[in-house]
Amino acid sequence: MFGFYRVATAVPRLQVADVPFNIKEIIALIKEGAENKASVLLFPELCITGYTCGDLFHQSYLLDKAEDALAEIVKASKGYDTIIIIGLPVRFNCRIFSAAVVIQNGEIKGIVPKSTLPNYREFYEKRHFSSGWNISDTTVDLAGFSDVPFGTDLLFYVNRELCIGIEICEDLWSVIPPSCAQALGGATLIANPSASNELVGKAAYRRALVAQQSARCVSAYAYASSGCGESTTDTVYSGHCLVAENGALLLDSPRFQMESRIYFTDVDLGRIVGTRYCESSFKDNAEKSAPAFKKIKLNPVGDLTEIRRSLPRHPFVPQEKSEKEENCDEIISIQVHGLAKRLLHTRSRSAVIGVSGGLDSTLALLVAVKSMRLIGKSPSDVIALTMPGFGTTDRTYHNACQLVEALGATLREISIKEACLEHFRAIGHDKDNYNVVYENAQARERTQILMDVANQCDGLVVGTGDLSEIALGFCTYNADHISMYAVNSGVPKTLVRHLVTHIAYRSESPVREILDDIAQTPVSPELLPATADGQIQQKTEEILAPYEIMDFFLYHFIKYGAAPEKLLFLATMTFSDYPQKTLHAALQKFIRRFFSQQFKRSCMPDGPKVGSIALSPRADWRMPSDSSASCFPQ
């Protein structure tokens, strides 16, 4: 469903070398995984026998029992589309290998041997096993199946979204893990049946390693490790299971569970494929160094009817408080240093900015003041113009004026009303006709004033428009669309609010109170007259849609190339508090405006990129201004 696949990681209760006991637990977990529509079910390394059998691995009787058990497991998988990956010892050419066997619907599809064998301190795998590093283009007979593909050159292919590569435990810890080559060869999901013991601090390292490898490979990564049933002669095993997706940890299981456990995680492999399409470094590496793999065709897996996963409501905003604060500081630093460099380079004596009492101009003002301080100048060198128009309300006007004064910037007030009325007379427009001419004339008058004042005081006009407005074209061409440096151009509206709130939290009175009120003010261009009681009439989120929805669409559309149907599906999952018709209408507006407003982005001013998504035509987003949206379902 829309590129989502359910990955199950299982840790069976086991007894070392008691194969009959172990397979009962394993088969029960297979049934549970299949009943829960798992696409892939991953078990730990050597779990049919137990990882800690030691020299018992040299006993043919144990190896025979393991092979017989595999035959029972294969038989139990009959009728299930779930792809089962399970570890056991495999004999080949008078050698023993720790291997992962891939099973689906009553068949053994292939076997991947472990490449990197630890041989230090508590691990002596080379005493019992051989490395499969150079084994390729080979078959074996196993558990009643003949000519089963065997080697490290195997990938298991379902479709372009689900292609599985396998590495085993220590392989991940090696200098160049096999998963790197597997990803370049097309694997979107790396499965690791492992037997990692527990030491102080090792779990944290393991988490970081799995997350980092998923990011390096631009893949999903599933990891299942041996549990508490293993021998505790010298080490203890905790049954740690992890699933990561392109650097984000989706599953971090409880450890030290005594009973059998299975964990389900829905990974978005459609997102992985979309990311790879636009990651130039991945494409370059794939073209230069992707090795040849044999792709074993698997049967289709069952389609999911529901997704057991939540997505961030505000994907541009970090979820954890500590991370959010750190990111806010970093974003503001990027904005401040970007503007500071431009002020120094242009030898501008001042920064000129239009302040409205809204979120965007507030953030730009705060950045401008910090930039001036950074280059050793006074906040008074920021010339802040309030330009009351026909829709300006007392609330926004007073907030703008009071904030400028509290920050120590220079406040100038120039009303645009008379100039606009004269302009209406000149072009023959009825002043009571509140159409686009009425609105845009005000916006262009303000920009003319800003540019001319900048010439007066040898200054640079600081733009206030944000990434969301740029994406939707919700700006007046050659008005607020234009500036000399657009400090907010990489910051979406949902993040602007958090940045302003973040600065408010760290500010003293009266700045804190002013910023708090600005953050709670409805977003509006204030180009239409206020209501009879002086309230804002023109609310942007009633004209477009709530910005949290539009930013959600923007994130998944640009970053992962999500199709419109998937965008609506993800939004329905995430915004259950909105009616379906609201989400659908928002999607229609997003697609229509994103395509139709590209001409504004094609000539947008310079501005700093602060996150992974930006729409600069010079570096980030290249799109013809006359592209058609007709083939995109709306």
Closest CA to 554 of 514, 594, 602: 594
pLDDT tens by residue, 289-320: 667 899 999 999 999 989 999 999 999 998 87
- 418 and 354 both lie in a single domain: yes
Helix (H) or strand (E) holding 368: helix 359-374
- 532 and 453 both lie in a single domain: yes
Question: Which domain CATH number covers 269?
Answer: 3.60.110.10
DSSP-derived 3-state class of residue 503: helix
| pLDDT mean over 549-568 | 96
How long is the chain? 634
For residue 568, being part of any structural domain is answered with no
pLDDT tens by residue, 9-45: 999 999 999 999 999 999 999 999 999 999 999 999 9
DSSP-derived 3-state class of residue 477: coil
Is the pLDDT score of 328 beyond 70?
A: yes
249 near 208, Cβ under 8 Å? no
- 53 and 142 both lie in a single domain: yes
Task: Please report the beta strands in 372-480, taking only residues with DSSP state E, as ranges in sequence order.
Answer: 382-386, 410-413, 459-463
246 near 224, Cβ under 8 Å? no
* Structure tokens given for 406: 């509290």
Token pair 């998944």 is found at 556
pTM above 0.85, yes or no: yes
Strand-pairing partners, residue 462, are 485
For residue 588, being part of any structural domain is answered with no
Cα separations (Å) of 83 from 10, 98, 352, 387?
13, 19, 62, 65
- 339 and 264 both lie in a single domain: no
Domain boundary among 519, 538, 557: 538
Helix (H) or strand (E) holding 585: helix 580-596
Strands 248-252 and 241-245: what pairing? Answer: antiparallel
Domain boundary among 518, 538, 558: 538
Q: How many domains does the chain have?
A: 2
35 Cα distance to chain centroid: 29
The HSE-up count of residue 265 (CA atoms within 13 Å, CB side) is 26
Cα separations (Å) of 190 from 167, 168, 335?
7, 10, 38
- What does 603-617 look like in DSSP terms, one character per residue? TPPP----SS----T
515 near 503, Cβ under 8 Å? yes
Dist. CA 137–CA 179, nearest whole Å: 18
pLDDT tens by residue, 135-167: 999 999 999 999 999 999 999 999 999 999 999
For residue 577, being part of any structural domain is answered with no
Question: Which domain CATH number covers 334?
Answer: 3.40.50.620
Domain boundary among 486, 509, 538: 538
**Average pLDDT of the residues of the chain:** 95
* Residue 121 pLDDT: 61
Is the pLDDT score of 287 beyond 80?
A: no
* Residue 250 pLDDT: 96
Query: Computed over its alpha carbons, how large is the radius of gyration of the chain?
Result: 30
Say which DSSP state 219 is in.
Answer: S
Cα separations (Å) of 456 from 339, 350, 360, 416, 439?
20, 10, 24, 18, 26
Q: How confident is the model at residue 324 (pLDDT cuts 50, 70, 90)?
A: confident
pLDDT tens by residue, 68-89: 999 999 999 999 999 999 999 9
- Domain range for 518: 321-538
For residue 590, being part of any structural domain is answered with no
Residues designated as active site: 45, 114, 169
